[in-house]
Amino acid sequence: MASPHSNAESADNNLVAALKIGDEEAFRQLIEQQGPRMLSVARRFMRDDDQARDVLQEAFIQVFRKIHTFKEQSKLSTWLHRIVVNTALMRIRSQKRKREDSIEDMLPGFLEDGHQANPARPWAATGEKLLQRKEVRQFVREAIDRLPENYRTVLLMRDIEEMSTAETAQALEVTENAVKIRLHRARQALREQLDPALREEAE
């Protein structure tokens, strides 16, 4: 008896084969199966919902054009996910920004002796437990969205999409050291925003 995993893999292979011969029903099936999840990916990167939908549409166009290059060593959904992320990054880079917002005002302040002016305190629950609450997830999303674009993008790629430092650097066309610095500062700024609301109340 075939396992659910082997059945899913077989269905995936059949779908890829149909896509490669230009089967319109296969493309409709792909959009129906993967569209909602990939739209969520696009929304994480784009601040505007209409832009997220544009990114998704462009990503599916890329799939249509490049499906013949897809190699079955990876999952179709993984390949599509990477196309959506890359399409979102291209859209971000193409947007003309008059100036890049500074992250300095979001970072923790330090005293002359090098200690933080307002040290972070333990939160009442772990981050994992806190994120199980809908209102906390929304608060975190809003805090991430307030980060300057270049820091926000690195945070999303490393901590949400779980891309490696090397992959992130290559996608953003920056050095790995730049990725590490931006990620560190983005995490600091995010913690500074979340800390007042989520930390354990001091007696």
pLDDT at 201: 38
Predicted confidence band of residue 180 (pLDDT cuts 50, 70, 90) = very high
Contacts of 200 (CB under 8 A, 6+ apart): 121, 122, 123, 124
Alpha helix (H) residue ranges in the chain? 4-20, 24-45, 49-66, 76-94, 127-130, 134-145, 149-155, 165-172, 176-198
DSSP 118: S
Token duo for residue 172: 């953003």
Mean pLDDT, residues 1-26: 76
Global confidence as pTM: 0.72
pLDDT at 1: 47
pLDDT in tens, 15-24: 889 999 988 9
Q: Is the pLDDT of residue 129 over 90?
A: no
Answer whether 151's CB lies under 8 Å from 143's CB.
no
Distance separating alpha carbons of residues 28 and 195, to the nearest angstrom:
45
